[in-house]
Chains A and B, each alone.
Chain A
Amino acid sequence: MSRCLSSILFLTVVLGLMCQGDARAADTVSEGSLVDRLPTGAVATAEVSGLASIIERIETSETLKGYLNSPLYQEAIKTDPARKALAGKAILEAQLGMDLWTIAKTYLGDRLVLGVYPPVDGHQPEGVLVIRVKNAADLSKLLEKLTPLAAFAGDAVSISDRAGGGKAFKSKDGNQVVITDRWIVASKSSELLSQTLTNLTTSRDSGLGSEVSWKLMAQQLGTQHTVQICVNLTKVSQLLGKRVVPEKLDNPVVSLLYGGLLEYAAKSPYLGMTVDISDSGYSIQSAVAGKVSDLDDAHRAMVLDPAQPLLPMTMEVPERLGVFSFSRNILKWYKAREQLLEPKLQPEFDKFETGLATFLPGKDFAEDVLPFLTGRVAFVSAPQDYSYLDGKPGVQLPAFGLVIELAKPTEGADILNVVAQTILTISNLEAAKQKRQLWVQSSESYHDVQVNFARYLQRPKGDQLATAYNFQPASALIDNRFILSSSLGLCRQLIDAQQNKRPVESATAGSIPNIVQELSPVVAARLLEANAAVIHAKSIQNGKTAEQSARELEAVCTLLRRMTAIHFDTVQYADHMRLELSGGWK
């Protein structure tokens, strides 16, 4: 848990810093992408632009100042790697006569691109880095600093004047850097270096940007992004000598949820990724090209029919911690499993069907269960209310709700109720072994909806109740949606959500949500705070003091409270599919 907290802390600090501080307009990119300055034939490119404004934001942000003054930072800089990094920073700043922030803004703040090329003669991949600096004067200054330094290095670095102006530095191991009026170009390959330098001064039409993969990505994702990565999947496939994604997957969950997207990737000329950061949030998008009509029948089970999309359910409840919602033709996917999944997985399905007989004797999963489902499924999570306890569990888990849409509501609900009752019975047997209170089946009418729920034989009492007391299973059928929840409270909220359903389950123009995921950092922070005692104890178990743990938790919660909901969706477009991660700050 402590490691998880540290990871969250790191992520939130980095993203937080990027979006904090004075709101300043991002540098407008005066010229287009640098990709077309690169020679053709690249396997992948990564381009960064407008970094200066982001660096500026980080430098001036209150969050950074707070972090630098925090005990957390003071502890962090005592570690060996941190000390080495700080020593390296001091040397660099002394040599270049400016602080690291200024160095970064001056030389990396405009636009840079890295191209990766296939290995020649089976060696390591080749690469070329192009950096465009805003002011030519800055590069003159850099040359002034570097030239004597390079001379000082003796045989290790040779310096020569370039015919077209600027200087070329070459290290003993073959690395070459050329600095001209506004450009820094580095590569180990003389050929790539030469071609790139030529492209800087000639027409761009013959550059990498003219290739199909990059053109298509630029057309589908645009080019004005802070970071833009493009992988030429056609070339990768050629280099590998096979599809970039196997014909048959080895994970059923991945297949059901992302099988369509991966099949797009297998046929797409490119894999693109963009990162955009504004004053109020961030957006990371990844895309592959393709059309639903290009997929075979089996793979269409994992994408939505553009003509009649059955959109994922959103099920909005108050204080929602998160939602994971998708829509699939599960029956078609299940029946096509031998085509979609590796043969080694097939016996597992047989075992699953045999095991299912425990819950549903005499029923066939594909013939008697799946036809009752429409394929729309949503997992919803929200804080548990504990109104059924005289106290609280020591570890407070969120409540979970599973909403399944039924094609045949009555028959489907009967089947699912049998499953729920069997699980309850098995849970009671386990509870007896663990000496916990048993559940008794009960029911109520909530807003005219029949709700079946489990109530404890005696109300559990205490402030440190076992983790199992987080659960009070409940189920209900409303309209054609069956709700199975770990909490009666959440079950009621889901009924409310269905009754007060807003027209949110719709597609915006040109895009169809394929998987919808959302996480509320604010609610997550509240849950972490509710479990502070356990988190502190886990930190103590790992050698921290209660005070250290409290500081770390407070830092994480403060950052989470500043964040707005995080969305991670899969979205279908007419000619490509995207993974979209986005969020923001208050």
Chain B
Amino acid sequence: MPNLEPPAGLLAPLDFTSDRTWTAREAAHLLGRSQFGYTSAELDLAIQSGPAETIERLLNTQPEPIEFQQAELALRKTALATGEITDLKIWWLYRMWATANPLAEKMSLLWHNHFATSFDKVRSVAQMLNQNALIRKHALGHFQQLLHGMSRDTAMLVWLDGNANRKRHPNENFAREIMELFALGVGNYTEKDIQEAARAFSGWHVREGVFWFNQSQHDETEKTVFGKVGNFDGAAIVDLCLSQPACPRFLAMKLLKTFVCSEPKQELIEAVATRIRLHDFVMLPVLRELFSSQVFYDGANRRSLIKSPLDLVVGSLRALAATVKWPSITKLLANLGQDVFEPPSVKGWEGGRLWINSSSILLRTNFATELASTEQLASLRGSVTDVASETSDSIVAGLGRLLMGDLVEGELHASLVALHQLAEGNSLQKLRATIQLILSLPEYQLY
């Protein structure tokens, strides 16, 4: 990959030596967006090491602690052994919570939602796990490889009825979704393109649990897709999709909605799409530029995204919990509307404002109560409870820094201090009550 000039304009890098000071707020903003919550230690390290080093640490694979490796292996093997999707969900939630590489998990979730596939139809933990491994392998890498891999992924083929795609009866499911949901977006293809592409994917089947090119069911005749004519097969269709100008724009929109703002302007989408094309669809350098850019740290984009249930729940747990009772958390996430491995449809979770409604806000408040006041979901970290005997002012400042990225100030700070002082019970109970209040704040639902 040739060295490219740094982006200019909206994506121009923010100079932390002159434009803005790297403080807890900036560090918390970066960590909050790029992982599922952060610990006090992670925030301290990010502040200390500065933006460039922190971004590199996020982007590059960090060694996982031995305890994580043991637990991850045990949970993964058990999911395979039991064949229970709940066990696989717990495995992934554990990874999100405990990994030393949280950005990889955040990107994996992005792609899981992008290529939304549900166990509800696949009915195989092994196939769902394989798809997840494929996603994680390319999460920060080449989107082309991910899209090619996904077109041969057995879970995807089951999910979108690959075995029903036969040369005399083409099934359009995969061809439609690759254009509408995986690569281009609505309005960038015609119905004829879908019909022709479906013929190219005919014979892409699953046999004995693995991908199988069923030549006898593959349509070998000429197809016309995006105005191009040829005896295309599925791989050629994937390449054709990737070559469309709409593809990087479509991906740029996804990245911006996940990491920057809920309604990105066309100009910004074009800027990111250009960088995606220039970086040959490799996500890592695109994210590096995004996390370094002025637009990422712009005040208008701070606390502008509504936390998804995973961001809220796993994020809070990463910050506060020493141990977690995962079966309860899995149920809670399903009730909140984000049940990993079982997205609601091929479109995945729409998210944004839809995450909050009269029912979910109640559940979010109950989660705050249960996490802060009971041991039903998790036990709090010693580093969190050890400060219980400090002053109200110090406790609120510390929690505000950890949970809200130093944004608890002024009237809010004073109110929380007053409430901490008024809270009933001993010092630990007062601390728990304050945590509960912060987790229930409308501001905490944003990041």
Contact = CB atoms under 8 A, between A and B. Distances in A.
A538 B81 CA distance: 12
A466 B325 contact: no
B83 A533 contact: no
Contact of B78 (A394, A435, A544): A394
Contact of A533 (B77, B209, B323, B379): B77
Contacts of A60: none
A541 B67 contact: no
B327 interface: yes
A540 interface: yes
Interface string A160-191: 00000000000000000000000000000000
B82 A394 contact: yes
Interface in B336-393: 378-379
B268 interface: no
B259 to A, nearest CB: 30
B75 interface: yes
A341 interface: no
A393 B71 CA distance: 19
A434 interface: yes
A467 B74 contact: no
B22 interface: no
B80 interface: yes
A502 interface: no
A393 B325 CA distance: 26
A466 B78 contact: no
B78 A542 contact: no
Contacts of A362: none
A466 B81 contact: yes
A74 B163 CA distance: 58
Contacts of A545: 67, 71
B326 interface: yes
Given A534-B78, A543-B326, A544-B323, 8 more contacts: A394-B77, A434-B123, A466-B83, A537-B75, A540-B71, A540-B94, A541-B87, A541-B90
B75 A541 contact: yes
A536 interface: yes
B217 interface: no
B326 A542 contact: yes
Interface string A378-416: 000000000000000111000000000000000000000
Which 5 residue pairs spanning A and B have beta carbons closest together? A394-B81, A543-B323, A537-B78, A537-B74, A464-B80
A467 B327 contact: no
26 contacts: A394-B80, A394-B81, A434-B123, A435-B124, A464-B77, A464-B80, A466-B80, A467-B82, A468-B83, A533-B74, A533-B77, A533-B81, A534-B78, A537-B74, A537-B78, A538-B78, A540-B74, A541-B75, A541-B326, A541-B327, A542-B325, A543-B326, A544-B323, A546-B70, A546-B71, A546-B74
A344 interface: no
B432 to A, nearest CB: 15
Contacts of B27: none
Contacts of B209: 435
Interface of B: 67, 70-71, 74-75, 77-78, 80-83, 87, 90, 94, 123-124, 127, 209, 323-327, 378-379
A586 interface: no
A432 to B, nearest CB: 11
A536 B67 CA distance: 13
B175 to A, nearest CB: 24
Interface residues of A, number: 23
Nearest to B322: A543
A179 B272 CA distance: 90
A434 B94 CA distance: 26
A545 B70 CA distance: 10
Mostly, the B contact residues are helix
B87 A537 contact: yes
Interface centre among A433, A464, A468, A544 (most CB of B within 10 A): A464
Contact of B81 (A433, A435, A467): A467
B99 to A, nearest CB: 15
B324 A537 contact: no
B124 to A, nearest CB: 5
Given A434-B123, A435-B124, A540-B71, A395 B81 contact: yes
Contact of A543 (B67, B75, B78, B379): B379
B71 A543 contact: no
Given A435-B124, A533-B78, A537-B74, A543 B324 contact: yes
B398 to A, nearest CB: 24
A468 B323 CA distance: 32
B327 to A, nearest CB: 6
A393 B81 contact: yes
Nearest to B124: A435
A543 B123 CA distance: 27
A32 B134 CA distance: 77
Contacts of B67: 545-546
Interface centre among A433, A464, A537, A544 (most CB of B within 10 A): A537
Nearest to B326: A541
A328 to B, nearest CB: 36
A468 B67 CA distance: 30
Contacts of A394: 77-78, 80-82
